[in-house]
A = this chain, B = another copy of it.
Amino acid sequence: MDLLHFEDFPVGEIADYGAADVTVEAIKDFAREFDPQVFHLDDAAARATMTGGLIASGWHVAAMLMRMSCDHFLNRSTCQGAPGIEEISWVKPVRPGDRLGVRRTTLSARPSKSRPEIGLVEFQFEVINQSDEVVMAQRGTILFKRRAASSEAKR
């Protein structure tokens, strides 16, 4: 299998992928374990809050984005992890019945100074619902092996 390397993420490229259905059960399961606030757990009580009904935890949406990214490209890549996230914006609520997808834009790409076999790719990820609304935006950097470096290593 030919894995995706640093060179396979040209700056400016836009990729659309993923289709994750948001269910009441998944929202509550995540919330019970990681974010037990009332607007993620109890629909009736949530209606009395500023959310106007049950919404998914923002961390659940971030985790769903990660899963869609693994399925679409990370798990067929030379991903070497991620140092961090530069920004997350929770723009709109995610509710039961929503179907989420991802728009990924490659913002920048550069070889690592300290580890020349590695390259850093900065992505903008937008999670988009069935009404084409951005519900979450995230900017972060992922490390990949460089193809040239891999070829040299094989010699």
Contacts and interface: CB of A to CB of B under 8 A. Distances in A.
A36 B70 contact: yes
A90 B84 contact: yes
A79 interface: yes
A88 B59 CA distance: 13
A132 interface: no
A36 B75 contact: yes
Contacts of A150: none
A67 interface: yes
B59 A66 contact: yes
Interface stretch (A2-10, A50-58, A102-110, A123-131): A50-58
B35 A67 contact: yes
Nearest to A30: B63
A23 interface: no
Interface string A83-119: 1111111100000000000000000000000000000
7 contacts: A30-B63, A35-B67, A35-B70, A37-B74, A50-B80, A85-B85, A87-B87
